Each structure stands twice: as structure tokens, then as C-alpha cells.
Amino acid sequence: MQAPQAPAASQSAHGEPLLRAENVVVEYGSKRKPNRALHEVSLEIGAGECVGLVGESGSGKSTLGKAILGLVPVAGGRISFDGRDITHLKGRSRRDLASDIQVVFQDPYGSLNPMMTIGDILAEPLSTAGTSRAEARRIVGEMLERVNLPASVIDRYPSEFSGGQRQRIAIARALVRKPRLIICDEPVSALDLTTQATVLDLLIELQRDTGVSYLFVSHDLGVVRRICHRVAVMYRGNLVEIGDGEQVTRDPQHPYSQRLLAASPVADPALQAQRRAEWLALREAPAA
């Protein structure tokens, strides 16, 4: 499937990209011997745009998402949302930002509290924002139907749902406060291929209907090709390539991006054998 075209409205109301990361540095460990996870990474996401962030495990792609969410401290650089500096927001200011920035995590089994009903899970962010119980229940019912689940499941528990259904519930929870940006951290990697396709189609439909932006973190070029307008490639904490989704996922220019493409499985045995030969050749070449 061809990558979707970038939306015409790519700027926020202030004429800025909705999200801008400028030379972001994240370090772990002690100050005396820090381990740098991100090396001055810069990235922009427009309003209504889906930007894919791909790379192998340990490349730094999830770390950038966590930095945007305020889950890891930023040692250098700047992150702005709709023109506002959010790099070091804490406390009430960071909690208030949850109405604009939400997240869908990788594991649909671990991201939902097994002791709470689906209705209570989805109503929790609304209640925190001051919504009445009756109104929250109404909104939750509508949101469940929005992700193709009947409102009648509102009093059931997470254990009663499949992995794909749980991930749709997690998407509903992210959308319930009508955010402008959702960080999707490997949201389909734990699902089988058929369920992956269903969830990706749902995310595409929701973006078309609501105008929400996505930062879509994945290791799978085939997945990001299907949903992302632009794709950025991470390697050892560095952003090594960024461009149109179709171009980067089919004809990448950087050696590491080419290696990722060669590692992607395909159904055709002859093409798969060719891909493996290309991957073996690229493995010996320097990636940066």
C-alpha cells in the first residue's frame, strides 16, 4: 500500500508545526559518566500529520517519545508544542498538557488496569478533568462505538477482550479527551498481522475524522509505510534520514535505512532470498 499523502494543513493555529523538537539530548546514568541516548535530535510534526519514527531496539526512537511526554528528563535542546516550550514542564502544567498530548503503549495486555471496568478506565481522565460521572459515561459509550466496540461492553473487564480489542480500548482512552497529538509507541507490534491491519485502518480513519496528529514509533517499515506521511529513521540515538513515507520505506538513501528495508520480510520466496542477500552485504558496510 502506498504511503498516505501529507495533509494540506501542516501548521498549528500559530503558524508553527504542532510539535517541534530541536537538538534534543537525553542522557541516562550519572552526570559524571552519562550514557547519551539521543544526540541532538530535531523533528517536526504538523497538524493532522502522521510522522513515523523507525529503528531497531535501542536506537532511541521510544526515548524521543518519552521525552515529549515528559517521562524522561531532557539534558539539552528544546521541545515546543503549538509554539509553547514544554521541555521541562512539571506538576500541574505537565498534567494539564495531557488534554493535548496522549499515548498508546505497545502492550495491550499490560496497559489496562485488570481491576477496573472498561468504563472506569476510559472515564478516569474525564473525571480528573472535572467531568460529571453521568457525562463521562455518555462520552465513554460514544468513544467505544467510535473504535468499533459496542457501548454495552462498558461494564466488562479487560480480561474479557482479545489483544486487538484491548488495543482499540487503549486508543479510545487516548482519544477520550480529544488530544491534538498521540504518541503511538509500537501500538501494533504485539498483535497478529490481521489484527494489525484492523488497528492501523482504525488509526487512519480516526485521524481523517478528528485531525489528530501521530508520532508513530515502530521497527517495521511495512507498518509505517501504510500509515505515515513522513518517516524518520533513528540509529544509535541519531536521526539519520527523514523524508516522504513512500520514498524512505521503498528507496531509502542512508545505509542503515537500506539495512532496515533489506531485513523486512516479504511473502515472495525469490524476493525474500534477494532481500536476505542484500541484508548480508549491507551488514558488512558501515551504517553511519
DSSP state for residue 20 in the 8-state scheme: E
Q: What percent of the chain has pLDDT over 90?
A: 60
The string over 176-200, giving b where at least 16 C-beta atoms fall within 10 Å of a residue's C-beta and e elsewhere, is bbebbbbbbbbbbebbeeebbbbbb
- C-alpha count within 13 angstroms, C-beta hemisphere, residue 207: 28
Give me the pLDDT at residue 286, please: 54
Closest CA to 207 of 97, 49, 44: 49
Digit-coded pLDDT (tens) for 132-155: 989 999 999 999 999 999 999 999
Digit-coded pLDDT (tens) for 66-91: 999 999 999 999 999 999 999 999 98
Q: Taking the model in full, what pTM does it have?
A: 0.86
What is the distance between the alpha carbons of residues 215 and 51, in angstroms, rounded to a whole number? 5
Closest CA to 231 of 223, 132, 188: 223
What is the mean pLDDT of the segment spanning 170-180?
A: 92
Give me the pLDDT at residue 281, please: 55
Residue 9 has pLDDT above 50, yes or no: no
Q: Which amino acid is at 162?
A: S
What is the distance between the alpha carbons of residues 17 and 11, in angstroms, rounded to a whole number? 5
Digit-coded pLDDT (tens) for 200-246: 999 999 999 999 999 999 988 888 999 999 999 999 999 999 999 99
Residue 131 has pLDDT above 90, yes or no: no
Reading phi first (left if > 0) and then psi (alpha if -120 to 50, else beta), residue 59 is in alpha
Digit-coded pLDDT (tens) for 257-270: 888 887 776 555 66
Q: CB–CB of 18/82 below 8 Å?
A: yes
Judged by DSSP in three states, 231 sits in: strand
The string over 247-260, giving b where at least 16 C-beta atoms fall within 10 Å of a residue's C-beta and e elsewhere, is ebbeebebbbbbbb
Give me the pLDDT at residue 108, please: 75
Q: pLDDT-based confidence at 8, cuts 50/70/90?
A: very low
Residue whose C-alpha cell reads 531509502 in the numeric block: 252
